[in-house]
């Protein structure tokens, strides 16, 4: 029998460390320092100009309310602008401002630097091991989704 408790404890440690890192702020080439959640919101909008709030929330795996609060903060800081959707006057489309574009590009550069470490790690693994890891992470995410949904939230 595999020691699932050891794996579960390792996953807990990783999740806690990831959460701890959520609030570390970096500049990404702009005058404001941004959290991981903020820069990833900018990233999603930069990769999907004109995205609506519902789609943004789904991509991030958060509620529409949480996405709305983040967008409002980033609008206030001058990274995102809201425009009426060309498809529906009732819907809002999200775009990056010039400051948002600069942060988006700075984030890509950051990923190029930090990505070297990840590429080296993945390059040392077989394709089979990577596929198994991908499947495990997908399954792990599904377990977390089911747990969240079962709580009625």
pLDDT in tens, 92-148: 899 999 999 999 999 999 888 888 888 898 999 999 999 999 999 999 888 888 887
Ramachandran quadrant class, 67 (left: phi over 0; alpha: psi -120 to 50; beta: rest): alpha
pTM above 0.85, yes or no: no
Alpha-carbon distance of 70 to 59, in angstroms, equals 14
Q: Which domain holds residue 81?
A: 24-150
Residue 7 lies in a domain: no
Q: What are phi and psi of 90, to 5 degrees?
A: -85, -15
Measure the CA–CA gap between 60 and 49, rounded to whole angstroms.
15
> Phi and psi dihedrals of 98, rounded to 5?
-60, -40
- Is the residue at 33 inside a domain? yes
- CATH number of the domain within which 43 lies: 1.10.10.10
Is 69 a member of any domain? yes
């Amino acid at each position: 029998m595999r020691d699932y408790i050891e794996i579960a404890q390792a996953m807990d440690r990783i999740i806690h460390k990831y959460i701890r890192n959520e609030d570390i702020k970096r500049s990404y080439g702009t005058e404001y320092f941004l959290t991981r959640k903020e820069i990833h919101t900018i990233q999603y909008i930069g990769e999907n100009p004109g995205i609506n709030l519902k789609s943004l929330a789904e991509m991030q795996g958060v509620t529409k309310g949480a996405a709305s609060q983040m967008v409002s903060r980033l609008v206030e800081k001058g990274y995102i602008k809201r425009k009426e959707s060309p498809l529906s006057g009732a819907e809002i489309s999200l775009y990056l401002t010039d400051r948002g574009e600069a942060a988006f590009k700075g984030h890509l550069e950051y990923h190029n630097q930090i990505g070297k470490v990840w590429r080296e790690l993945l390059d040392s693994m077989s394709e089979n091991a990577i596929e198994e890891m991908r499947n495990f992470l997908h399954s792990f995410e599904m377990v977390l989704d089911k747990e969240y949904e079962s709580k009625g939230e």
